[in-house]
Chains A and B, each alone.
Chain A
Amino acid sequence: MHIENIPRRRHTISLTPLIDVVFILLVFFMLATSFTDWRPIGLATGTSAATPGQTPPAVVHVDTEGNLRYQQKIVAADDLAASLKSARERNEISAVIVQPDADANLEVTVGALDMLSGAGVSPMSLATGASGKDAP
């Protein structure tokens, strides 16, 4: 018997379903991924009980406008950050406590924390800002 050897045309895989799937994946990843540049500010919640007699923490007050008060005086944020940084290095203060006013929102408070954390001041903590009452 003579079987004729017909040269078969090579079949390529149909690409349409593949493209469908890839498009769906692409749209999923485009919508689900976030490119937000997150910057963390480390804050102590205040668990470590400071023994009395040790170096005191510096308390910085923040009012609703974002002005910083340190030792009853309004100070520029970058000056304060630099002086607190050097005071921390000389071990004159143990930590920096930021105390926002009762009405201050987080945006304003974080502005102050940002200046301090940008200068490398640590550890930092956030205190409840009862207006008119100073932290020890």
Chain B
Amino acid sequence: MIIPPPKRPRSKDESILPLINIVFLLLIFFMLAGVLAQSPPFELTPPSTAETADKAQLNNDVLSIAADGRIALGGETMDPEVLPQALGDWPKDKPLQIRADGQLKADALTGLFATLRSAGISEVKLLTQHVEP
């Protein structure tokens, strides 16, 4: 009769290894797939688009505009009056990303364009959220 060799008792550490493998995989997935982005200091629902094909990564110095007209550059709330100073050293050829709430009056945005123009910014990228049509 062949008696099978006694099984080595699995240590507690060894039984937890598959769990760690999965957790590591999840960790690496979230690190690589997602973007660590500055969230605006107020509630913001960007307008949705379906046709625009360009894609963009959110910059850290994005200009956020809430529905009631509050603005924030990066994560910092600021007065619209001090915006030209804050954008004083903005490079000429770099477009400014704008993330505005969908309920904002379009006139408020065009009003802000005048401020940006005086700060020397000739192109902006209005960020929208892609939804499947």
Chain A: residues with CB nearer than 8 A to chain B? 12, 14-15, 18-19, 22-23, 25-26, 29-30, 32-48, 62, 100, 102-111, 113-115, 117-119, 126-129
Contact = CB atoms under 8 A, between A and B. Distances in A.
Interface of B: 11, 13, 16-17, 19-20, 23-24, 26-27, 30-31, 33-37, 39, 46-58, 95, 97, 100-107, 109-111, 113, 116-117, 120-130
Interface of B is mostly: mixed
Q: Pick the most buried of A40, A100, A110: most chain B CB atoms within 10 A of its CB.
A: A40
A21 to B, nearest CB: 10
A29 B124 contact: no
A40 B107 contact: no
Given A26-B26, A105-B105, A106-B106, A114 B34 contact: no
A44 B100 CA distance: 16
A126 B109 contact: yes
Contacts of A14: 13
Contacts of A48: 122
A25 B37 contact: no
Nearest to B49: A114
Contact of A47 (B46, B106, B107, B120): B120
A106 B104 contact: yes
Contact of B126 (A18, A33, A41, A103): A41
Contacts of A126: 106, 109-110, 113
10 contacts: A22-B27, A29-B30, A34-B35, A34-B39, A39-B127, A39-B128, A45-B121, A45-B124, A109-B47, A128-B111
Contacts of B26: 26, 30
